[in-house]
Amino acid sequence: MTNQKIIIFSLIVFIFSSFAYLAFTETRQHQIKDGWIIYFNNISDSSGTFTIENYSNQKDFSWEYYADETLIKEDKTKVLKGEQKSVIIDEPANGQSIKIKVSDSEKSKDIYKNLD
């Protein structure tokens, strides 16, 4: 009976410590120190509305909206460090795909959405 209690207690301590370790490492991996992210607000509709999350010192972003590789609209926006901004695209996507290209002074990122 005593051996069973020791085994159960050891198993509980092991499981708890494993969960604590995994939670700690996952939290560390998801902290963005310097960079920015772009993503579509709704991937299931035909809207090109997207969000920029900024974790860098850059604040000026330019973006381009393409439908089937044809440039439809381009503009600039400001997003301060630690903030996010949704860019609403009013133009309908008349085509098979949407591409959003966002650039700062150093790098460029693209996101794509197939509409078929």
Q: Which residues touch 105 (CB under 8 Å, ≥6 apart)?
A: 58, 60
What was the pLDDT predicted at 30?
A: 67
Strand partners, 114: 97
CATH number of 36-114: 2.60.40
What was the pLDDT predicted at 94?
A: 75
What was the pLDDT predicted at 32?
A: 67
Q: What is the mean pLDDT of the chain?
A: 89
Residue whose structure tokens are 């560390």: 28
106: helix, coil or strand?
A: coil
> Which comes out higher in pLDDT, residue 28 or 113?
113
Domain extent listing, the chain? 1-31, 36-114
Task: Encode pLDDT of 17-33 as tens digits.
Answer: 999 999 888 877 766 67
HSE, side-chain direction, 13 A CA sphere, residue 55: 9
